[in-house]
Every structure is written in C-alpha cells, then in structure tokens.
Structure 1
Amino acid sequence: MMNVIKRAKAPTPKFFKVLRNIGLALAAVGGTVLAAPVALPVVISSIAGYLAVAGGVLSAVSQITTISEDANASQ
C-alpha cells in the first residue's frame, strides 16, 4: 500500500500526464480571469472560478494516478 508522498513520486501514465497538463492550463486560465484588473460580468467570474477549481482537481487526481507494480512486472 502506497502513501500519498510515494504515490505522487511514482511514475504517472502518459494519458494522465496529458490530463494533468490540461488541468494546469484550465487552472491558469481561471486564475488569470479571476485576477483580471477590470470589472467582469458575474457569469464570467463564476465560470472562471469553476475552471480554476476543476483544473486544480483534475491536476491533483492525475498526479497521484500511478502505474501499478503488477503492470510494470508484466511489461
């Protein structure tokens, strides 16, 4: 059984690396829109907040997804 630190340091499958990068991009876009120095409509601010949260969750889940040791042994 892996703890969180070992899981985060373990190799990540390629598909989840792509998802992690997409999540980071979504979080960056959402954060940028939220930090904009101009007044934006409430709808856009709400969507940006949801983008930031969704991107953060997607990145975190993708980062802790690992290749199982059984799969490594069979390759």
Structure 2
Amino acid sequence: MKIVDRIQSPTPKLFQLLRNIGLVLAAIGGVLLASPVDLPSWLNDLGGYLTVAGGILSSVSQLTVVDGVNTHDSG
C-alpha cells in the first residue's frame, strides 16, 4: 500500500483519538518552548519531549488504516 493510499484511507476510531491526543501534546510542548518568560530548564526539556512525542503519535496514528478497506493494488 502506497503512502498516499494510507493517508486517504479511513482511520480507525481509536487512532483518531490517539492522533488528537498527539496534537494536543505537541501544542502544549510548543507553548512551553515558545513561552516569552524564562522557564526552568527542565520545563523547556519537557516541552521538547512533548512536541516530539506528540508529533510521532499523531503521524503514526494518521497512517493507520482500517484493514481491508483499501481496494487499490499494491503491486
């Protein structure tokens, strides 16, 4: 299955929820990283970790598809 087919195929309900959670984590991490006030270094580190983890969770969840729905040939 090609990547374009995966992106266009329907995503299971559980992975839609996980994708949204990942987007929220990435947004919180971005807010921590872009904060105009001087935050402790551990909080800046946490912001970076949340941003990376949220991005990975969202992208992997978006590429998960319902089995058997896609009718395109992978050959």
Global fold match (TM > 0.5) = yes
2:60 is matched with which residue?
61
Identical amino acids, percent of aligned pairs: 54
2:2 is matched with which residue?
3
Deviations 1:46-73 (A, max 9, x none): 0110000000000000000000117xxx
Aligned partner letter, 2:27: A
TM-score (norm 1): 0.89
State how many pairs are aligned. Answer: 69
Aligned partner letter, 1:13: P
How far apart are the structure 1 equivalents of 2:42 and 2:60? 27
Aligned partner letter, 1:68: D
Post-superposition offset of 1:5: 1.1
Which is further off, 38-47 or 61-70? Answer: 61-70
Q: Which runs of 5+ in 1 are unaligned?
A: 71-75
Deviations 1:5-61 (A, max 9, x none): 110110000000000000000000000110001111110000110000000000000
How far apart are the structure 2 equivalents of 1:63 and 1:9? 10
Aligned partner letter, 1:37: P
TM-score (norm 2): 0.89
More helix by share: 1
Aligned partner letter, 1:57: I
